């Protein structure tokens, strides 16, 4: 069985060693990088299954490193950062991160999130028994095989999690999903503040779709979200 490789990009050696120790206990192979440029090179030269990136790193920060990694690799990326504001989290998720943890953090929670992201990534990589149907609704064309979205014929670039949310909602138009339900289905785990993570992804998804209020993703206040077909 192939050993899973995780890239840890962190300029604080104590934190990098702590994360490495906990991941290796779970049987993962760990590659470490002390700056953003080294992280990009590692992702390009090794078969990396998941990356954990600090945002504030020398040479290239985590945001720019993610932009460059995302040009060639769709592996899950988890940000680990001392920045705690909602805007920092939104920026990270818009750039292409799949999850965001703030320092100080619980190493065991980080391991749990790594497992959830890997489980989700492996599920998506499994070949489908048959070609998934393309969804065409309200001016959107959603192709689950190509993982592409067209808005009135124009391509919309989404992160993996944004695509997953849109595809799930559009696959069941007018069905209401709570934030907790979306988080459990798409992240595979239940976490404190999971609803906030969903809210941030919904916000960035709406911005990228360029919708008017409730054009495609409608908020049912106090309940959750639905695709407004």
The Cα–Cα gap between 39 and 175 comes to 41
Report which of residues 55 and 129 the model is more confident about. Answer: 55
pLDDT per residue as tens digits for the range 115-174: 988 887 776 655 444 446 889 888 899 998 888 999 988 999 888 888 989 999 999 888
**Residue 30 in this model has a pLDDT that exceeds 90:** yes
| Mean of pLDDT values over 31-39 | 95
Listed in sequence order, the residues at least 6 apart from 68 whose beta carbon sits closer than 8 Å to its beta carbon are 40, 60
pLDDT, residue 137, reads 84
pLDDT per residue as tens digits for the range 1-12: 678 999 999 999
The Cα–Cα gap between 200 and 182 comes to 13
**Residue 24 in this model has a pLDDT that exceeds 90:** yes
**Residue 25 in this model has a pLDDT that exceeds 90:** yes
Dihedral of the alpha carbons of 168, 173, 176, 179, in degrees to the nearest 10: 30
Q: What domains lie within the chain, and their CATH numbers?
A: 5-124 (3.40.50.2300), 135-227 (1.10.10.10)
pLDDT per residue as tens digits for the range 170-200: 998 888 988 888 887 887 665 545 557 788 8
Measured at the CA of 42, the angle between CA 92 and CA 191, to 5 degrees, comes to 40
Q: What pLDDT band is residue 72 in, cutting at 50, 70 and 90?
A: confident
| Mean of pLDDT values over 205-219 | 79
pLDDT, residue 128, reads 43
Of 100, 69, 65, 87, nearest in space to 194 by CA: 100
pLDDT, residue 39, reads 95
Instruction: Count Cβ atoms within 10 A of the Cβ of residue 197 and give its class: 0-12 exposed, 13-18 middle, 19 or more buried.
Output: buried
Length of the chain, in residues? 229
Residue with token string 């695709």: 227
The CB-based long-range contact list for 194-200 (8 Å cut-off, 24+ gap) reads 197/99, 197/100, 198/165, 200/86, 200/89, 200/90, 200/93
**Residue 88 in this model has a pLDDT that exceeds 90:** no
H-helix or E-strand containing 170?
A: helix 160-171
| pLDDT, mean over the chain | 84
| Cis amide linkage into residue 55, ω under 30° from 0 | no
The Cα–Cα gap between 185 and 53 comes to 24
Beta strand extents in 34-179 (DSSP E only): 50-54, 77-81, 99-102, 135-137, 140-143, 148-151, 154-156
């Amino acid at each position: 069985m192939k050993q899973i490789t995780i890239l840890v990009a962190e300029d604080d050696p104590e934190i990098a060693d702590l994360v490495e120790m906990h991941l290796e206990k779970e049987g993962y192979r760990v590659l470490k990088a002390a700056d953003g440029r080294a992280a990009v090179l590692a992702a390009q030269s090794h078969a990396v299954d998941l990356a954990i990136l600090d945002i504030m790193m020398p040479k290239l920060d985590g945001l720019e490193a993610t932009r460059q990694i995302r040009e060639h690799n769709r592996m899950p990326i988890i940000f680990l950062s001392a920045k705690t504001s909602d805007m920092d989290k939104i920026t990270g998720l818009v750039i292409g991160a799949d999850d965001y943890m703030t320092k100080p953090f619980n190493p065991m929670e980080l391991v749990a999130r790594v497992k959830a992201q890997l489980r989700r990534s492996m599920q998506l990589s499994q070949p489908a028994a048959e070609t998934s149907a393309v969804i065409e609704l309200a001016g959107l064309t959603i192709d689950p095989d190509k993982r592409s979205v067209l808005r009135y014929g124009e391509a919309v670039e989404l992160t993996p999690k944004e695509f997953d949310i849109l595809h799930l909602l559009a696959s069941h138009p007018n069905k209401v999903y709570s934030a907790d339900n979306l988080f459990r289905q798409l992240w595979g785990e239940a976490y404190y503040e999971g609803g906030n993570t969903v809210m941030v992804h919904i916000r960035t998804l709406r911005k990228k779709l360029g919708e008017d209020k409730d054009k495609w993703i409608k908020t049912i206040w106090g309940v959750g979200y639905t695709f407004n077909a």
